[in-house]
Amino acid sequence: MTATSITPELLRRFDVPGPRYTSYPTADRFVEAFTPHHYEQALAQRREGPAALSLPLSLYVHIPFCESLCYYCACNKIITRHHDRAQSYLRYLGREMDLHNAILGTDRVVTQLHLGGGSPTFLSDVELAQLMAMLRRGFAIAPGAECSIEVDPRTVDGARLQAIADLGFNRISFGVQDFDPDVQKAVHRIQPAGQVFALMEQARAIGFDSINIDLIYGLPRQSPESFARTLAQVSQLRPDRIALYGYAHLPERFKSQRRIAQAELPAPGAKVTMLSQALASFEGDGYVYVGMDHFARPDDALAVAKRQGRLHRNFQGYSTQPDCDLIGLGVSAIGRVGATYSQNAKTLAEYCDHLDQGRLPVARGLALSRDDLARRAVIMALMCQGEVVFESIEVAWLLHFRKYFGAELEQLDKLCAEGLVTVDETAIQVTAKGWFFVRAIAMLFDRYLQADRNRTKFSRIL
């Protein structure tokens, strides 16, 4: 089964709203009854655990600032040209780190660090250096740790890329979205292709371990013809990884999207055609389909992890790092510690107010039940390994798989008939064809989603 074997008709049938499963339960299930006190308890339990020092941490830092508004964006961001706001934000990040360090200590090993936003490159080189110094004081960032940063091509040049590398970042991601000037104008993100090509060449010369580009299909004024030209340029760029996202137009939830004219959005049929074009183009260029919108060159660490069954998934998407606790820092950042999820306050004022009062800025979260944990294990096994071995779930959660998930197995019959999965007495196996629709398979094991008919709050799965 190859990408070109996935027909437009098949894509249409399975293009339904659904979660991305960067967590289970998904973030829309978090509750305000989960307080900073509950999060502190989770941190304390981690500190006192028998293997606490040997278990690595992952860090995510949210930098919310952007100089200009991209109309499609659904991220938590603050649009400003006042760069002096960054210094105040860094001070609050420092307070948040201090509160963590007071509970965890400063010797916790970190093997993965990701800076997202917003635009992390809104910070100056001096401010990025200041942030990295704070992180290294508060945590033991391991030699060879995976350190990645999201880069707005409009905010950097070769010298800035070198400064980023000198700070220890070894993976970068360029937000490209589309090269067509008319599409860029429609979404208020003008960045000439030549600028991205030059940055890619400079990044390769510097020697980053992996360079990713983000693309979006389904944007206003896009057409199969215009997107084919963008794909041809991506083929010339030859990034190590590609993240291809379908645009989710949800103007009722994201105010910035109200500036997009509904009439300028491509028809559903054209959007499916663009996805088919992308799958064929990337396959032709030798990329491995990692899963869930992610593609990588065969020698990239992500593709290697896919082949070796070592894929993991966290709030940043697929990862080569072992499943580990995640500390989220900054406004709206999400973390996972033990059997809990937590999310910081979504507005800067509320975030700062928590810290001014000397408490962690957690606004909501969730303590996972035994059922949540068992289902998370099943969903992540599907999403990452494409296989659920019944015995492994039964031993870990002391349940009889076929009895516990009887209703779900019945629903799988339809997907078996489609050739997306196979089920025998011992395991569920996602087929090569089914890997392109793994979200639809995972959704069957989501207890909350199956009981909730209001699924339009999610993006479509393709």
- In the annotated binding site, the residues are 60, 66, 70, 72-74, 117, 150, 177, 189, 214, 248, 334
Question: What is the CA angle 363-369-371, rounded to 5?
Answer: 135
**Encoded amino acid at 132, one letter:** M
Question: 216, 274 in Cβ contact below 8 A?
Answer: no
Residues 72 and 66: their CA atoms lie apart, in Å, by: 14
410: burial class by Cβ within 10 Å (0-12, 13-18, 19+)?
exposed
Q: Which residues are annotated as a binding site for S-adenosyl-L-methionine?
A: 60, 72-74, 117, 150, 177, 189, 214, 248, 334
129 and 102 in contact (C-beta within 8 Å)?
no
- Return the H-helix or E-strand segment holding 54: none
Q: Given the structure tokens 């308890």, which residue do they identify?
A: 41
Q: Mind giving me the DSSP string for 166-229?
A: HTT--EEEEEEE---HHHHHHTT----HHHHHHHHHHHHHHT-SEEEEEEEES-TT--HHHHHH
Amino acid at residue number 228: A
The answer to whether residues 160 and 125 touch, using CB atoms and an 8 Å cutoff, is: yes
Q: Write out the binding residues for [4Fe-4S] cluster.
A: 66, 70, 73
